Structure formats: C-alpha cells, structure tokens
Amino acid sequence: MKFSHRGAAPARRNDIQTIKSLLPYVWQFKWRVSAALACLVAAKAAGVILPLFLKDIVDKLSVPATLLALPLAALAGYGFARLAASVFGELRDALFARVTQGSIRRIAAQLFKHLFALSLRFHMQRQTGGLSRDIERGTKGIGFLLNFMVFNILPTLLEIGMVAAILLWRYDWSFAVVTLGTIASYVAFTLLVTEKRMVYRRSMNDLDSKANSKAIDAMINYETVKYFGNEAYELDRYDTNLGKWVDSAVKNQISLSFLNMGQGLIITVGVTLLLWLSAQGVVDKKMSVGDVVLVSAYLTQLYAPLNFLGFVYREIKHALADMERMFGLMEQGLEVADRPGARPLRTGQATLRFEHVDFGYEPNRQILFDVSFTIPAGGTLAVVGSSGAGKSTLSRLLFRFYDVGAGSIMVNGVDVRDLTQASLRRHIGIVPQDTVLFNDSILYNIAYGNPDATQEEIFEAARAASIHDFVMSLPEGYQTQVGERGLKLSGGEKQRVAIARTLLKNPPILVLDEATSALDTRTERAIQEELRQIARNRTTLIIAHRLSTIADADEIIVLDHGRVLERGSHRELLARDGRYAQMWALQQAGQDDEALV
C-alpha cells in the first residue's frame, strides 16, 4: 500500500536564488523601478560634476588680485548641479517607496496563502513562535535589501565608475589605478570576511527562533506550567537558548570589529596615496590648486559612501539570510494539492462513501486498514472505538487534510481527489470536541461560518443553537470578546458558538467529532438535542465516545486498531453481544469513560 508523504523540504538556498525569488514581485512595478533608476542616474551625474565646478571656482579665484573676477558661470553651474542632485534623489525615493512596500505586501500575502495550502502535517510539526519570527525578519529584510540596493549599492557603484572615468580623462593613469585598486581591495576584503561571518548570523537566527518558540509555547500553555510548578524549568530552557544566542552574538561582534579595522586600513592607505599624487602634481606644476581640491572632493565624495557600503553590504547579507528562511517556507512542497482539472462540488445533498481506505501518518505507523462504509444522503453513521482506533483520522481524510494511502473517499460517486479542496470543504461542517475560537467577538466567531451572512441570519443561527438569549444577557451582547482560544466562555458556551457557526455555514455534510465528550453530563444532554436538530436532513458522520449519544444513528461502526470490527444498528449490535455490547454494558454501569476503552 501507499502512505502519505510530506512535501519536499526546500534545500539550502544561495543569495542568487533568494534575489531571483524577489525580482518578480519587484518587477510588477516596472515603470516605477525604471523611473526611479533614471532619477538615480541623474542625481549621481549631477553629484559627480559638482567637484568640476568647484575646481573652476578655486582656479579662477587663485589668480592675482588684479585679475580677479566673479566666476558667475561656475557658481551658477555648481548651484544647479547641487539642486539637481537633491531633487532627483528625492524623486527617486518617492517613486521607489511603493515598489518596496508593494513588494512586501504581495510577498506576505503570497506566503500567507501558501501556509494555508500546506498540509495539516506541516502545521502540526511547526513551531508558531519560530515561524512568526522567520516571517517578520524576512519581510523586514526585503525592505532593507530593496532600499539599500537602490539607494546605496547602485548609486555608489555608479559613482565609482564615473569618478574613475573622470580621473582617467583629466589626470595621469596612476590616479585611476590607485582609486580602483583601493576599491577592489576594499570589496574583496569585505566579501571574504563577511562570508565567514554569516555562519554566526545564521546561528543567531536559529537560536533566536528556538528561544522565541519555547517562550511562546510556554505562554500558550501557561496553565499547564502553573499546574506543575515548572516556571523555573521553562525559564531555564529559555535562558539556555539565550545563552547560546549570546555566544554567537559576541562572536559576531568580534568579527565585525575585525572587519571594520581592515576596511579602515585599506581606505586610509588609498586616501594617503591619492593625496600624495595630487600634491606631487602641484609641486611639479602639472596640476593646479583646483585640481587638488577636485581630487580631495572626489575622495570625500567617494570614500564616505564606500565606507558606508561596507556596512550596507554586511546588512544586505544579513537581510538575505533572513529572507532565505522566509522564501524557503514558500518553497515548502504541497502534500495535498488540487489535481489538474479538479472540478468544484455543487450539491445540496451528499452521499458519502469510504471504499477500502488505508492510511498511515508515517510509513511505519499505519492507522486505518481497509475501512469501508457508506452514508446515504441525509443518513447518519456513528463511529465508536478506543482511543487511537483511527476515529478522528476519518474526519481529517474527509476534509482532505491528508490524502488516503489506498482506496478512495467518494462524495456523490466522485473521488474527493477529483474535487477542488475549497469546494469540498464548503460542503462540510464540523463541531469538534475542542472548539477553538478566535480572540474576537462572539458575533465574529459565529459569522466565521459564513462571513457574508446578514446580522439577522447570525442571530437566527444563534437562536437555533440556544445561545442567543445568553449572548443578549451579556453587557456587550454580541460584541463580547471571547478571549484567547475562547477561554472567557465555558465549555458549553463554546460548543453552542460552534454549533451556531456550523448552522450558519449550512453544509450538506456534517461531522460531529466527539462534540460533547469534554462536557459534563447535564451540559452534554442539553447540547445533544441541539446537535440532533442540526443533523436532521444532513449526511452526518458522528465520531463518538459516549455510546448513549449515538443510539439512534442509522448505522454504527466499531473501529478497533484501525479496522472495522463490527457494524449495524444499536439494536443489532447489542443483540450480537460483541465488543459494542460490552462497551454499552460498561457505560450503563457507570464506569469511567476512559476505563471503558
């Protein structure tokens, strides 16, 4: 038989792959990108010609006093060039703002969509804290990368090329050689050291995500931590990870200091050589004082951003490392996907059939063995059995959270794998054992069953679930906040919200997955009648723990270690005096439910 396998995990990405993943999102704003690059070139061209006007001004003011005249043209040119550099720079920033923010928005939306497309297996294995931190760092990294690439890396490289061309054109080749040699040495040193430093950054990211995951996991399970008095244990786990993070952070800072010292040495040597060459030119009367000013201005103009370029490059590498994990999530393979040509399900009544279904969560852990049953449209089938028998697995397979390993699940004679997942799930409603509510209002949580429902439809669903009067008695009515995971409501109140939510969805197929087993007997009896009402005229699969709740089902299946042990109506199974009859006798005798199975 076949087993389910998780989607292929992404391999380690390199920086080129990460940038390639980003480019399609940026190029959606191609006219803005083109306009911003044009402004960038114009701003840098204006900035590079500034020292040329400054040289003319100095040379014309360096003549004897009797020959002095105001260099109006040079002054006007200097002022115009400075204004142009400023204006084009601001235009570039304004044009590119939407590119950066728009790209982040589209990538975040795509990632959010992809995470919901991943299988339940992925989400059961993920750690929420680490995942959220990876996404947060990745989106911030996109903004940093785009801004510094366009506002620092490209302008600096463009300026280096322009300055080197002017130095070659106006002066001896040695000026350009020293300039380019210094830049090449600087870049090579920066690349070499930064690459070696990235291992510390990746280690910091991993340890940060792990520490954050442990902290959030402990906070989510606050009550359990307090029940067992394990605050010190959780603090120790968290602090141990932080200690490892500190070690990596210290190594990261030491390597950064070494990098900064090396960069400073290279720039100092280059600046000193260029000033020596220009001063020697003046002594040899081959250059004027204005030429010295020109070279000095280019030095200041060039090496200041070049020094900053080292910081920018390091941060870009950090941003790429942060983005690497986020784009890796987007490449996580889909375990359950719509087939090409999958069609939408459209029906008001549904016949549900499991045919020879085998399934295992892992190759060495098979859960279901040759399970077959049929629920006719409007019929009710209950599944009972011990914990771990595979009862809840049936609902997960029906929703296509996983695909069967062998056999098939059919709705109206069509394999669910030939239907779109979205349309299939629209036709199924579930009232689970553990109802999880969003940290929002009661109105929002009921309306989640059908976000397009009117307020009156929501109220009607609440009345049918016998919760409307209770909600209206609250000071804030339907705007009452339910708290994290609905903790401000009792178990019975949460179940009624779940019932109202399902009624609002109005699905033809209903799954009741041990919907009342966590409730006390009195609350269970009250809610059980409401469940019978919503199951009427719907194809219903009941996964039950307490047999008294399913005695009137059309058919009952007893699962034992993933196999169908018995099947029939309540009366037929009692008459057979098998496993079901034993379970019934024990429950009727008042035995604890857990001891029964």
pLDDT digits (tens, 9 = 90+) for 394-435: 988 998 888 898 999 999 999 999 999 889 989 998 888 778
Residue 63, pLDDT score: 56
Q: pLDDT tens-digit profile of 196-232?
A: 777 777 777 777 777 777 788 788 787 777 777 778 8
Domain definitions of the chain by residue range = 15-330, 352-427+507-596
Query: Whole-angstrom distance between the N-terminal and C-terminal Cα of the chain?
Result: 29
Neighbours of 358 (CB within 10 A): 18
Q: What is the pLDDT of residue 6?
A: 43
Residue 362: partners with Cβ closer than 8 Å, 6 or more residues away: 3
| pLDDT higher at 508 or 54 | 508
The string of DSSP letters for 387-405 reads: TTSSHHHHHHHHTTSS--S
Q: CA 289, CA 159: separation in Å to the nearest integer? A: 23
Q: What is the pLDDT of residue 381?
A: 93
Nearest partner of 451 among 438, 436, 463, judged by Cα? 438
| CATH architecture, domain 352-427+507-596 | 3-Layer(aba) Sandwich (3.40)
Q: Name the average pLDDT for the chain.
A: 80
pLDDT tens, residue by residue, 163-174: 778 777 777 788
* Structure confidence at residue 591 (pLDDT): 47
Q: Which two tokens stand for residue 71?
A: 């260099």
In this structure, how many other beta carbons lie within 10 angstroms of the beta carbon of residue 343? Answer: 12
CA dihedral 48, 54, 56, 57 (to 10 degrees): 160
State how far the Cα of 500 lies from the Cα of 514, in Å rounded to an integer. Answer: 17
Tokens 């704003």 identify what position? 29
Asked whether the beta carbons of 270 and 164 are under 8 A apart, the reply is no
Which amino acid does the sequence have at 163?
Answer: V
Alpha carbons 300 and 159: distance in angstroms, whole number: 12
Local structure of 481: helix, strand or coil: strand
> In terms of C-beta density within 10 A (0-12 exposed, 13-18 middle, 19 or more buried), how is residue 133 classed?
buried
**462 contacts 471 by C-beta, under 8 angstroms:** yes
Return the number of other C-beta atoms located less than 10 Å from residue 228's C-beta: 10
- Note the pLDDT of residue 372: 92
Helix (H) or strand (E) holding 189: helix 173-220
Sheet of strand 428-432: strand arrangement: 428-432, 509-513, 539-543, 380-385, 555-560, 563-568
Q: In the CATH scheme, what architecture does the domain 15-330 have?
A: Up-down Bundle (1.20)
Band of pLDDT at residue 558, cut at 50, 70 and 90? very high
Identify the CA nearest to 167 among candidates 153, 187, 182.
Answer: 182
Whether the per-residue pLDDT at 27 is higher than 90: the answer is no
